[in-house]
Amino acid sequence: MNRRNIITGACLAALAALAGVAQAQQGQPPKVAVTDLAYTQAVAQYFEAGTVKSSGGVTANQHGIVATQQSSGTYVSGTYSYMEQRELGSFSNDIRGAMLKGGQFRLVQGKRFDAGDPQPTKAEQALNQIQTGKMAKPVRQPEVKDVIARIKKGEFNGADYVLFGTLTSLEFRDSLSPLQGTTSASYQFSLDLVADFSLISTKTYEIKASFSAQGAGNDTKLLSNRGDVQPPNRGKVIRETSKSLAENVYEQMADQLGLPGLPESGNTPRRSGNAMPPPASNEGTVILK
Protein backbone atom coordinates (compact mmCIF):
# COMPACT_ATOMS: atom_id res chain seq x y z
CA MET A 1 0.00 0.00 0.00
CA ASN A 2 2.82 2.38 0.90
CA ARG A 3 4.64 1.49 -2.32
CA ARG A 4 1.51 2.29 -4.34
CA ASN A 5 1.18 5.66 -2.61
CA ILE A 6 4.84 6.45 -3.29
CA ILE A 7 4.46 5.61 -7.02
CA THR A 8 1.23 7.60 -7.23
CA GLY A 9 2.85 10.59 -5.53
CA ALA A 10 5.85 10.43 -7.87
CA CYS A 11 3.58 10.32 -10.93
CA LEU A 12 1.54 13.28 -9.67
CA ALA A 13 4.73 15.24 -9.00
CA ALA A 14 6.02 14.50 -12.51
CA LEU A 15 2.72 15.56 -14.07
CA ALA A 16 2.74 18.76 -12.03
CA ALA A 17 6.28 19.52 -13.18
CA LEU A 18 5.35 18.93 -16.82
CA ALA A 19 2.29 21.14 -16.43
CA GLY A 20 4.46 23.87 -14.93
CA VAL A 21 6.90 23.69 -17.84
CA ALA A 22 4.04 23.81 -20.33
CA GLN A 23 2.52 26.81 -18.61
CA ALA A 24 5.88 28.55 -18.56
CA GLN A 25 6.35 27.89 -22.28
CA GLN A 26 2.86 29.10 -23.07
CA GLY A 27 3.49 32.34 -21.19
CA GLN A 28 6.55 33.22 -23.28
CA PRO A 29 6.20 35.90 -25.96
CA PRO A 30 6.53 34.72 -29.57
CA LYS A 31 9.86 34.94 -31.37
CA VAL A 32 10.03 37.45 -34.22
CA ALA A 33 12.72 38.05 -36.84
CA VAL A 34 12.86 41.60 -38.23
CA THR A 35 14.25 41.87 -41.75
CA ASP A 36 16.16 44.80 -43.16
CA LEU A 37 14.14 46.90 -45.60
CA ALA A 38 14.03 45.21 -49.00
CA TYR A 39 14.24 47.29 -52.16
CA THR A 40 14.77 46.97 -55.90
CA GLN A 41 16.18 49.63 -58.20
CA ALA A 42 16.73 49.92 -61.94
CA VAL A 43 20.40 49.91 -62.96
CA ALA A 44 21.74 50.77 -66.43
CA GLN A 45 25.15 49.45 -67.47
CA TYR A 46 27.10 50.34 -70.60
CA PHE A 47 29.02 47.45 -72.13
CA GLU A 48 31.42 46.77 -75.01
CA ALA A 49 32.49 43.42 -76.37
CA GLY A 50 34.36 42.43 -79.52
CA THR A 51 37.41 40.90 -81.13
CA VAL A 52 39.01 42.92 -83.94
CA LYS A 53 42.13 41.77 -85.78
CA SER A 54 43.90 43.67 -88.51
CA SER A 55 47.05 42.99 -90.54
CA GLY A 56 48.66 44.51 -93.64
CA GLY A 57 51.85 44.74 -95.59
CA VAL A 58 53.60 46.02 -98.70
CA THR A 59 55.65 43.83 -101.07
CA ALA A 60 57.58 44.62 -104.23
CA ASN A 61 58.13 42.33 -107.22
CA GLN A 62 59.04 42.60 -110.87
CA HIS A 63 55.57 43.86 -111.68
CA GLY A 64 55.56 46.64 -109.10
CA ILE A 65 54.50 47.25 -105.52
CA VAL A 66 51.64 45.21 -103.97
CA ALA A 67 49.85 46.27 -100.78
CA THR A 68 47.73 43.82 -98.77
CA GLN A 69 45.24 44.45 -95.96
CA GLN A 70 43.30 41.91 -93.85
CA SER A 71 40.88 42.52 -91.01
CA SER A 72 38.30 40.51 -89.10
CA GLY A 73 36.24 40.68 -85.96
CA THR A 74 32.93 41.67 -84.39
CA TYR A 75 32.26 44.63 -82.17
CA VAL A 76 29.14 45.02 -80.01
CA SER A 77 28.24 47.80 -77.61
CA GLY A 78 25.10 48.99 -75.89
CA THR A 79 23.34 49.68 -72.59
CA TYR A 80 21.97 46.87 -70.45
CA SER A 81 19.25 47.58 -67.88
CA TYR A 82 18.32 45.28 -65.00
CA MET A 83 16.73 45.33 -61.54
CA GLU A 84 19.12 45.21 -58.59
CA GLN A 85 17.80 43.57 -55.40
CA ARG A 86 19.22 44.60 -52.06
CA GLU A 87 18.40 45.19 -48.38
CA LEU A 88 18.78 48.53 -46.60
CA GLY A 89 20.16 47.87 -43.13
CA SER A 90 20.13 51.44 -41.79
CA PHE A 91 16.64 51.57 -40.26
CA SER A 92 15.91 48.12 -38.79
CA ASN A 93 17.79 48.31 -35.47
CA ASP A 94 15.48 50.98 -34.05
CA ILE A 95 12.48 48.84 -35.03
CA ARG A 96 13.98 45.93 -33.08
CA GLY A 97 14.63 48.28 -30.17
CA ALA A 98 11.01 49.45 -30.13
CA MET A 99 9.77 45.85 -30.12
CA LEU A 100 12.08 44.97 -27.23
CA LYS A 101 10.91 48.05 -25.35
CA GLY A 102 7.28 47.03 -25.90
CA GLY A 103 7.97 43.74 -24.08
CA GLN A 104 5.54 41.69 -26.18
CA PHE A 105 8.08 39.86 -28.35
CA ARG A 106 11.35 38.01 -28.25
CA LEU A 107 13.66 38.74 -31.16
CA VAL A 108 15.84 36.32 -33.11
CA GLN A 109 18.48 37.24 -35.67
CA GLY A 110 17.69 36.15 -39.21
CA LYS A 111 20.18 35.75 -42.04
CA ARG A 112 20.88 38.48 -44.56
CA PHE A 113 19.33 38.11 -47.98
CA ASP A 114 21.31 35.73 -50.21
CA ALA A 115 21.35 37.20 -53.72
CA GLY A 116 22.94 34.08 -55.19
CA ASP A 117 26.23 33.57 -56.99
CA PRO A 118 27.72 36.53 -58.89
CA GLN A 119 26.51 36.61 -62.49
CA PRO A 120 28.69 37.43 -65.53
CA THR A 121 28.38 40.98 -66.80
CA LYS A 122 26.58 41.74 -70.04
CA ALA A 123 29.92 42.42 -71.72
CA GLU A 124 31.21 38.99 -70.66
CA GLN A 125 28.01 37.34 -71.92
CA ALA A 126 28.25 39.12 -75.28
CA LEU A 127 31.93 38.29 -75.67
CA ASN A 128 31.28 34.64 -74.86
CA GLN A 129 28.51 34.57 -77.47
CA ILE A 130 30.87 36.04 -80.09
CA GLN A 131 33.64 33.57 -79.32
CA THR A 132 31.54 30.41 -78.96
CA GLY A 133 28.40 31.24 -80.94
CA LYS A 134 26.27 30.18 -77.97
CA MET A 135 23.94 32.46 -76.07
CA ALA A 136 24.24 32.24 -72.30
CA LYS A 137 21.07 31.10 -70.56
CA PRO A 138 19.84 33.51 -67.88
CA VAL A 139 20.08 32.15 -64.35
CA ARG A 140 17.12 32.86 -62.11
CA GLN A 141 18.23 34.81 -59.06
CA PRO A 142 16.57 34.75 -55.60
CA GLU A 143 14.05 37.56 -55.12
CA VAL A 144 14.44 39.74 -52.05
CA LYS A 145 10.67 40.28 -51.79
CA ASP A 146 9.80 36.55 -51.93
CA VAL A 147 9.61 36.15 -48.17
CA ILE A 148 7.93 32.73 -48.38
CA ALA A 149 10.87 31.32 -50.36
CA ARG A 150 13.26 32.88 -47.86
CA ILE A 151 11.37 31.29 -44.95
CA LYS A 152 11.50 27.89 -46.66
CA LYS A 153 15.20 28.41 -47.35
CA GLY A 154 15.82 28.74 -43.61
CA GLU A 155 16.81 32.40 -43.39
CA PHE A 156 14.64 32.84 -40.26
CA ASN A 157 15.20 29.61 -38.34
CA GLY A 158 13.88 29.77 -34.78
CA ALA A 159 11.38 32.55 -35.48
CA ASP A 160 7.63 32.13 -35.08
CA TYR A 161 6.93 35.27 -37.12
CA VAL A 162 8.80 37.47 -39.58
CA LEU A 163 8.29 41.24 -39.70
CA PHE A 164 9.07 41.84 -43.37
CA GLY A 165 9.61 45.41 -44.57
CA THR A 166 9.80 46.76 -48.13
CA LEU A 167 11.12 50.23 -48.88
CA THR A 168 8.52 52.25 -50.80
CA SER A 169 10.01 55.73 -50.86
CA LEU A 170 13.19 57.38 -49.59
CA GLU A 171 13.67 61.05 -50.48
CA PHE A 172 16.13 63.70 -49.31
CA ARG A 173 15.01 67.32 -49.64
CA ASP A 174 16.77 70.70 -49.57
CA SER A 175 14.86 73.93 -49.03
CA LEU A 176 16.03 77.54 -48.62
CA SER A 177 13.61 80.13 -47.18
CA PRO A 178 14.46 83.83 -46.76
CA LEU A 179 13.61 85.26 -43.33
CA GLN A 180 11.40 88.32 -43.69
CA GLY A 181 12.89 91.56 -42.41
CA THR A 182 16.43 90.16 -42.34
CA THR A 183 19.25 89.38 -44.71
CA SER A 184 19.43 85.79 -43.49
CA ALA A 185 17.78 82.62 -44.73
CA SER A 186 16.71 79.32 -43.26
CA TYR A 187 18.20 76.22 -44.87
CA GLN A 188 16.47 72.91 -44.10
CA PHE A 189 17.72 69.46 -44.99
CA SER A 190 15.17 66.66 -44.48
CA LEU A 191 14.54 62.99 -45.15
CA ASP A 192 11.20 61.26 -45.66
CA LEU A 193 10.90 57.47 -45.67
CA VAL A 194 7.88 55.22 -46.30
CA ALA A 195 7.91 51.42 -46.04
CA ASP A 196 5.35 48.61 -46.19
CA PHE A 197 5.37 45.92 -43.49
CA SER A 198 3.80 42.49 -43.03
CA LEU A 199 3.92 40.23 -39.98
CA ILE A 200 3.95 36.67 -41.37
CA SER A 201 3.72 33.31 -39.60
CA THR A 202 6.67 31.06 -40.44
CA LYS A 203 4.48 27.96 -40.02
CA THR A 204 1.26 28.83 -41.84
CA TYR A 205 2.47 31.85 -43.91
CA GLU A 206 -0.60 33.69 -42.67
CA ILE A 207 -0.36 37.47 -42.54
CA LYS A 208 -1.13 38.64 -39.00
CA ALA A 209 -0.65 42.38 -39.58
CA SER A 210 -0.08 44.57 -42.63
CA PHE A 211 0.50 48.33 -42.76
CA SER A 212 2.57 51.22 -44.13
CA ALA A 213 4.80 53.25 -41.82
CA GLN A 214 6.54 56.58 -42.23
CA GLY A 215 9.61 58.19 -40.72
CA ALA A 216 10.92 61.73 -41.05
CA GLY A 217 13.84 63.82 -39.83
CA ASN A 218 15.29 67.27 -40.54
CA ASP A 219 18.10 69.65 -39.70
CA THR A 220 17.78 73.44 -39.98
CA LYS A 221 20.62 75.97 -40.37
CA LEU A 222 20.55 79.78 -40.48
CA LEU A 223 22.56 81.36 -43.30
CA SER A 224 23.62 85.02 -43.50
CA ASN A 225 24.46 87.18 -46.50
CA ARG A 226 28.17 86.73 -45.76
CA GLY A 227 28.13 83.45 -47.62
CA ASP A 228 28.29 81.18 -44.59
CA VAL A 229 28.61 77.48 -45.37
CA GLN A 230 26.66 75.32 -42.93
CA PRO A 231 26.67 71.65 -44.00
CA PRO A 232 23.64 69.75 -42.71
CA ASN A 233 24.01 67.11 -40.02
CA ARG A 234 23.07 64.08 -42.11
CA GLY A 235 23.63 61.69 -39.19
CA LYS A 236 21.10 63.57 -37.06
CA VAL A 237 18.54 63.52 -39.88
CA ILE A 238 18.94 59.78 -40.48
CA ARG A 239 18.73 59.05 -36.73
CA GLU A 240 15.52 61.06 -36.33
CA THR A 241 14.02 59.32 -39.36
CA SER A 242 14.93 55.90 -37.99
CA LYS A 243 13.48 56.66 -34.54
CA SER A 244 10.19 58.03 -35.88
CA LEU A 245 9.84 55.10 -38.29
CA ALA A 246 10.35 52.58 -35.46
CA GLU A 247 7.73 54.27 -33.27
CA ASN A 248 5.24 54.37 -36.14
CA VAL A 249 5.85 50.68 -36.94
CA TYR A 250 5.21 49.58 -33.37
CA GLU A 251 2.21 51.89 -33.00
CA GLN A 252 0.46 50.47 -36.06
CA MET A 253 1.37 46.87 -35.29
CA ALA A 254 0.14 47.24 -31.70
CA ASP A 255 -3.11 48.76 -32.95
CA GLN A 256 -3.79 45.85 -35.33
CA LEU A 257 -2.84 43.14 -32.82
CA GLY A 258 -4.49 44.70 -29.78
CA LEU A 259 -1.21 45.21 -27.93
CA PRO A 260 -0.40 48.01 -25.49
CA GLY A 261 1.59 50.92 -26.86
CA LEU A 262 5.19 51.72 -26.08
CA PRO A 263 5.72 52.34 -22.34
CA GLU A 264 6.96 55.57 -20.89
CA SER A 265 10.55 55.64 -19.67
CA GLY A 266 10.98 53.39 -16.66
CA ASN A 267 7.57 51.74 -16.98
CA THR A 268 6.85 48.18 -17.99
CA PRO A 269 3.80 47.53 -20.17
CA ARG A 270 1.12 45.11 -19.08
CA ARG A 271 -0.23 42.52 -21.47
CA SER A 272 -3.74 43.25 -22.62
CA GLY A 273 -6.46 40.68 -22.98
CA ASN A 274 -6.20 40.86 -26.78
CA ALA A 275 -2.42 40.60 -26.94
CA MET A 276 -0.88 38.18 -29.39
CA PRO A 277 -0.82 34.72 -27.79
CA PRO A 278 2.33 32.63 -27.84
CA PRO A 279 2.65 30.11 -30.68
CA ALA A 280 1.05 26.72 -30.17
CA SER A 281 3.33 23.76 -29.68
CA ASN A 282 1.55 21.75 -32.37
CA GLU A 283 1.30 22.48 -36.08
CA GLY A 284 -2.11 24.13 -35.85
CA THR A 285 -2.81 27.68 -36.97
CA VAL A 286 -1.90 30.42 -34.52
CA ILE A 287 -4.73 32.95 -34.27
CA LEU A 288 -4.04 36.59 -33.50
CA LYS A 289 -7.00 38.50 -32.18
Model confidence pLDDT, tens digit, residues 16-71: 333 333 333 456 789 999 999 987 766 666 666 666 666 666 666 666 666 666 66
Superfamily (CATH) of domain 28-40+86-113+142-257:
ABC-type transport auxiliary lipoprotein component (3.40.50.10610)
Between 71 and 99, the higher pLDDT residue:
99
The pLDDT mean for the chain works out to 75
With a CB cutoff of 8 Å and minimum separation 6, the contacts of 67 are: 56, 57, 58, 59
Q: What is the pLDDT of residue 281?
A: 41
Using alpha carbons only, give the angle 168, 171, 177 rounded to the nearest 5 degrees: 150
Rounded distance between C-alpha atoms, residue 102 and residue 94, angstroms: 12
- Enumerate the β-bridge partners of residue 177: 186
pLDDT at 266 (0 to 100) = 46
Q: At what angle do helices 93-102 and 234-257 cross, to 10 degrees?
A: 40
Supply the pTM of this predicted model. 0.65
CB atoms within 10 A of CB 218: 17
**Per-domain residue ranges of the chain:** 28-40+86-113+142-257
Whether 129 shows a pLDDT value over 90: the answer reads no
Residue range 159-216, pLDDT digits in tens? 999 999 999 999 999 888 887 777 778 888 999 999 999 999 999 999 999 999 999 9
3-21 pLDDT per residue, tens: 555 444 544 444 333 333 3
Query: Does 248 have pLDDT greater than 60?
Result: yes
